[in-house]
Amino acid sequence: MTISNREIAAIFDQLADLLEIKGENPFKIRAYRNAVRTIENMGTDLSKMVTEGIDLSDIPTIGEHIAQKIEEIVKTGKLAKLETLEQSFPSHFLDILHVKGIGPKRAKILYENLKIGSLEELRKAAKTHQIQKLEGFDEKLEHMILEGTLLTKKEGRRFMYAVAESHVNALLSYLKDSKDALQVICAGSFRRRKETVGDIDLLATSDHPALLINHFVQYPAIKEIISHGETRSTVILKNDLQVDLRCVADESYGAALHYFTGSKSHNIAIRKIAIKMGLKINEYGIFKGEEKIAGRYEKEMYKTVGLRYIEPELRENLGEIEAAKKGKLPELITLEDVRGDLHLHSIYSDGHNSILEMAQAAKDLGYDYIAITDHSKHMPIVKGMDEKKIRRQMEEIDQINDQLKGIRILKSIEVDILEDGSLAMPDHILKELDLVVGAVHDKFSLSQDKQTARILKAMDNPYFNILAHPTGRLIGERRPYDIDMELLFKDIKARGCFLEINAQPKRLDLNDIYTKAAKEASIRFVISTDAHEPSQLNYMNYGVFQARRGWLEKNDVLNTLSWSEFKKSIQRI
C-alpha cells in the first residue's frame, strides 16, 4: 500500500501546528508549511519516487531534512517526531484547530492558560465566558469560537468528500491488488457524492472472501480493527475514518450495491413499490415468493419494479422516484460537458501562479475559455486590485490571448459586494470587462432583510453577471449567511444574472437543495473552481458532483457552451 501525497502533507501540517504551539523555531515551521503546499500540488506520488530511489531533496522547498522524513513516512506510515510531540498534548487537542478563529498561536494561549485540550473543554470555556478574558481575545471572538464548536459538534465526525476520496482511492487500489478481489466498489454516501462522509462502505465480490478480508485488515493505515469476520470487517483508520468491507456473492452484487448505496429513505420507497407488486426486496435481491428474480445487476433492481435506472446522486427520496415513473429523470451533467472555468485567481491577487500558467493548465485540460477573476482591493488580506492594477492585468491578458492559441482568457474580476450593495470597483472599469463575478466576503451576520437587499442591489448593476459562492458557507467552519433564497431566485432571473456552484471542497456552494430549487425556478448556473493554482482546476469534478446532486443537466450550466454562445448568454446591455 502506498501512502498518498495528501496524507503525507497532513502529517507535516500537524507537525508544523504542534511545533508552532510549542514555540519552536519559526524558520523550521515555515519550511514545513512550504513543504505541505508543494506536496499537496505535486503531480507525482512521493511514495513512488521513494520506491524508485529518486532523490527527493532536489524538489523545491523539500531539502535533505524533510526528504528524510518523507522517506520515513512512506516506509513506516508514520513520523516518529510527530508521535513524540503528540504525546505531550491531550489526545484530542488538535481537534480545536478545526474551529474557526483558532490557529496554533491561539491554541497555545488556550492550552497554557485554561488547559483546554478538547472541543468539549473549548465549548464549556466559551459558554462560561472564560475565553474573552484572555489577552488577544474578546467577546466577539469568543462568540465566534462558541459557534464554531457547536457547528463542529453538529457536523459530527464527518470528512469532506475530497478528504474521504483520497482514502477511498487508496483502499480500492490496495484491495484490487489482491488476487482474491473480483469486483470492488465504494457505496454509501460517498457514491451518492455527499458533501461530507461519515464512514466508508466498501463492497466486493470474491471466490475467497475470507482471504480478501484477511488482506483488508492488513491495510497499513489501520489504527484499530473493530470486527474481523469471514465476509465482513470494520476498521478505524489512523485519521479516525471508519471503513466497512462487505463481501457478497456475484448473484447478489447488484442488490447489495443498491442497498448499501442508499439513501435509507430512497431504499424504503423502492421497497414499498416492490411490496405493492407482491415482491420482496433486500440486500440479497428481489424475490417473488421463494424465487429470486433479480439481484446480480443494479440496473435490474430498478427495472424489475418498473423504474428507469436512477443515478446514485439522486437517491435521496426528493422526487427522483416520481420522475422515474414518469420518464422525466434528468440527463445529468458530466465533467466532459464543461468547456471553461469562470473563477480563477492569479498573482494579481491571492493566486500563486501567473495568468499564463493558469491559462496553459486550463488549455491542457481541454478548456475553450477561462475567466481570470482576481479580487478587488476591498479586502486587504487578498492583495486585491485597484484601477491601475486591473488595467495592467487587462493589457497582459490581451498579450497572452495573442500568443496562446486554442484558449480564450476572459477579462474579469471577483468584485466585493459592499454592505450597502454597491460594488468595490467603478462602473467605468466594470463595463470594459468580459465578465463580472460578484461576491460577499464580509458582514456575514447581517439580518436576512439587509443581506438579501445588499445582494439584490448589487445585481441591479448592469455589468453584474455571476453571484459567486452564493451563501458564503464553509463546510464545518462557517454557516451560510441568512438570505431570502426565494426572493433571490426570483430577482436573479429577472435581472439576467446567474448563480455559481463553487467547486472548492470546503465550499461546494450552492448546496444540492438550493441548486435543485433554483433549477425549478428556471435559474441557470456556472460551475467554477475558484482555483488559486493550476492543480485546483481539478476541483471541477467536485462542482459537477454537486450540480448532479442538484439535478442539473448540461443545458442548465452556461460554461458548457462554446465561447460565442456563452458570450451571447451573459449579455445584459
CATH number of the domain encompassing residue 99: 1.10.150.110
Answer yes or no: are the C-beta atoms of 149 and 118 closer than 8 Å: no
- Report if residue 330 sits inside a domain: no
Q: What is the mean pLDDT of residues 77-83?
A: 87
Q: Using an 8 Å Cβ cutoff, are 141 and 132 in contact?
A: yes
Statement to judge: residues 236 and 339 lie in one domain: no
| CATH code, domain with 174 | 3.30.460.10
The parent domain of residue 499 ranges over 335-570
Task: Return mean pLDDT, the chain.
Answer: 91
Domain of residue 382, CATH code: 3.20.20.140
Considering only CA atoms, which of 525, 566, 565 is closest in space to residue 546?
A: 525
- Same domain (yes/no): 357, 312: no
Q: Determine the pLDDT at residue 157.
A: 67
- Provide the CATH number for the domain around residue 286: 3.30.210.10
Asked whether 489 and 550 are in contact (CB, 8 A), the reply is no
User: Is residue 78 in a domain?
Assistant: yes
402/486 same-domain check: yes
Q: Are 320 and 445 contained in the same domain?
A: no
The answer on 352 and 295 residing in a single domain is: no
C-alpha span between 82 and 69 (Å, rounded): 10
Task: Give the count of domains, the chain.
Answer: 4
Q: Give the pLDDT confidence score for residue 441 in this predicted structure.
A: 93
CB 313, CB 189: distance < 8 Å: no
Residues 276 and 367 in one domain: no
Q: Where does a domain end: 304, 325, 346?
A: 325
Whether the predicted pLDDT of 147 surpasses 70? yes
Residue 23 lies in a domain: yes
In this prediction, residue 154 carries a pLDDT of: 47
Q: Coil, helix or strand for 423?
A: strand
Last residue of a domain, one of 272, 306, 325: 325
Contacts of residue 469, Cβ cutoff 8 Å, sequence gap at least 6: 439, 500, 502, 504, 507, 509, 530
pLDDT for position 573: 57
Could you report the per-residue pLDDT of 370-404, keeping only the tens digit for each?
A: 999 999 988 776 778 999 999 999 999 999 999 99
> What beta strand segments (E) does 324-384 contain?
340-344, 369-372
Do 140 and 174 lie in a common domain?
no
Entry field: residues in the chain: 573
Angle in degrees, 0-180, between the axes of helices 264-276 and 253-261, rounded to the nearest 10: 130
* Run of H or E residues at 224: strand 222-228
User: In this structure, are 438 and 543 located in the same domain?
Assistant: yes
pLDDT over 90 (residue 248): yes
Phi-psi region at 443: left, alpha or beta (left = phi > 0; alpha = psi -120 to 50): left
Indicate whether 32 pLDDT > 80.
yes
Q: What is the pLDDT of residues 166-187, one digit of tens each?
A: 899 999 999 999 999 999 999 9
More confident: 36 or 188 = 188
Check if the beta carbon of residue 470 is closer than 8 Å to that of residue 510: yes
Look at residues 443, 499, 514, 504 and name the one whose alpha carbon lies nearest to residue 468: 499
Q: Is residue 289 part of a domain?
A: yes
Write down the pLDDT at residue 289.
Answer: 92
Residue 565 lies in a domain: yes
pLDDT tens digit sequence for 282-316: 999 999 999 999 999 999 999 999 999 999 999 99
**CA separation, residue 19 to residues 32, 80, 105, 511 (Å):** 10, 14, 10, 37
Read off the pLDDT of residues 135-145 as tens digits, 9 standing for 90 and up. 888 888 888 88
For residue 192, which of 297, 75, 315, 81 has the smallest C-alpha distance? 315
92 and 235 co-located in one domain: no
Integer Cα distance of 7 and 57 in angstroms: 19
194 shares its domain with 149: no
pTM of the entire structure? 0.79
Q: How far apart are CA 559 and CA 128, in angstroms?
A: 50
The domain boundary, picked from 248, 266, 295, lies at: 248
* Residue at 226 is within a domain: yes
| 436 and 565 together in one domain | yes
Q: Is residue 54 part of a domain?
A: yes
Measured between alpha carbons, how far is 304 from 281 in angstroms, rounded to an integer?
10
Pair (244, 259) in one structural domain? no
The 3-state DSSP class for residue 225 equals: strand
